């Protein structure tokens, strides 16, 4: 039973007991009075105080009262991370306009014979005589002079080693031209073999064999007959010297 309710009931019972006790005292005094006369009762002397009203029961029983809140622990104050500064917008640089160009000529190579060809517009010239007899000769002659100047535009302080390497390439080119002439003559007698076979200097400093558009090292030519003709051409060139 609720403790508060029990306490209230006890107070009521105690009030009733006090009232009965007071009433008994009054009767006892009447019996002790001489002549059987009942003394005048003074109402003010025997007024029993009314019992105190019981306290209102609580909405929640005492057993279900929530425990006092635990003291809160102070958490360290962590400042918020600083925001990175705003990136400054970089204005895009305008690309330079492309240069205005005109088509002068096209330098081509025959896949079979390996000879050079020059294309001007829709016209194709296989030899210098064909170009010289055409209306495109003056135009190509002027472009050829400009091309020579374009190739010759280099620093004047060329190293001695670079000059020697250029001279060696020129000598090798002259030698390979002579061997290629012998090789071309031998290939003409063997129509079953590809005709576009020639020797050319390698960027690494050696010699490579060009068969059409394919390039092979001198010692890795896949066709045994072509390899034999190359050795014969080199031997014949050495005998001429």
| Domain match, 146 and 178 both | no
Distance CA(207)–CA(16), nearest Å, equals 136
Domain match, 192 and 141 both: no
> Coil, helix or strand for 53?
coil
Dist. CA 158–CA 166, nearest whole Å: 11
Instruction: Render pLDDT for 142-196 as a digit per residue (tens, 0 to 9).
Output: 888 888 888 776 655 555 555 655 555 555 557 888 998 998 888 888 888 887 8
Residue-number span of the structural domain to which 126 is assigned: 106-152
Query: Whole-angstrom Cα distance, residue 8 to residue 2?
Result: 10
Same domain as 166, residue 215:
yes
Tell me the average pLDDT across 53-74: 54
Q: pTM of this prediction?
A: 0.33
Same domain, 123 and 176: no
% of the chain with per-residue pLDDT over 70? 64
> Number of C-alpha atoms within 13 angstroms, CB side, residue 213?
4
On whether residue 234 sits in a domain, the answer given is yes
Count other Cβ atoms within 10 Å, centred on residue 217. Answer: 12
Pairing of strands 207-211, 116-120: unpaired
pLDDT band at 203; cut points 50, 70, 90: confident
**One domain for residues 236 and 167:** yes
Q: In the structure encoding, which two tokens stand for residue 93, read together?
A: 């640089």
**Do 30 and 10 share a structural domain?**
yes
Tell me: do 173 and 116 sit in the same domain.
Answer: no
In a domain, 73, yes or no: no
How many Å apart are CA 179 and CA 231, to the nearest integer?
10
The reply to whether 8 and 49 lie within a common domain is yes
The single residue listed with the structure tokens 């170009």 is 131
Q: What is the mean pLDDT of residues 23-35?
A: 68
In a domain, 126, yes or no: yes
Do residue 190 and residue 217 come from a single domain? Answer: yes
Per-residue confidence (pLDDT) for residue 36, from 0 to 100: 47
Residues 167 and 145 in one domain: no
SS3 assignment for 84-107: CCCCCCCCCCCCCCCCCCCCCCEE
Question: For residue 125, what pLDDT is reported?
Answer: 92
Final residue before a domain boundary, out of 125, 152, 179: 152
C-alpha 135/C-alpha 137 separation (Å) is 6
DSSP 3-state of 161: helix
Among 161, 166, 177, 167, CA closest to 114: 177
Supply 35's token pair: 């002549």
β-sheet bridge partners, residue 214: 211
Give me the number of domains the chain comprises: 3
Judge residue 240's burial from the number of C-beta atoms within 10 Å of its C-beta, 0-12 exposed, 13-18 middle, 19 or more buried: exposed
Q: How many residues are present in the chain?
A: 241
Neighbours of 232 (CB within 10 A): 13
């Amino acid at each position: 039973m609720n403790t508060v309710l029990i306490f209230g009931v006890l107070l009521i019972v105690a009030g009733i007991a006090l009232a009965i006790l007071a009433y008994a005292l009054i009767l006892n005094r009447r019996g002790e009075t001489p002549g059987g006369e009942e003394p005048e009762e003074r109402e003010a002397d025997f007024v029993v105080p009314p019992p105190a009203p019981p306290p209102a029961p609580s909405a929640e029983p005492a057993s279900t009262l929530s425990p006092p809140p635990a003291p809160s622990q102070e958490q360290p104050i962590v400042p918020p991370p600083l925001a990175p500064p705003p990136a400054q917008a970089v204005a895009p640089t305008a690309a330079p306009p492309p240069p205005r160009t005109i088509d002068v000529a096209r330098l081509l190579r025959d896949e079979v014979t390996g000879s050079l060809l020059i294309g001007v517009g829709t016209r194709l010239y296989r030899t210098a005589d064909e170009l010289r007899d055409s209306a495109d000769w003056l135009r190509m002659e002027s472009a050829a002079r400009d091309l020579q100047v374009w190739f010759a535009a280099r620093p004047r302080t060329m190293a001695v080693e670079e000059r020697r390497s250029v001279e060696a390439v020129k000598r090798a080119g002259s030698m390979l031209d002579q061997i290629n002439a012998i090789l071309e003559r031998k290939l003409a007698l063997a129509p079953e073999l590809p005709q576009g076979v020639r020797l050319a200097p390698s960027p690494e400093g050696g010699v490579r064999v060009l068969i059409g558009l394919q390039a092979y090292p001198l010692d890795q030519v896949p066709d045994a007959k072509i390899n034999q003709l190359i050795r014969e051409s080199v031997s014949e060139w050495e005998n001429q010297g």
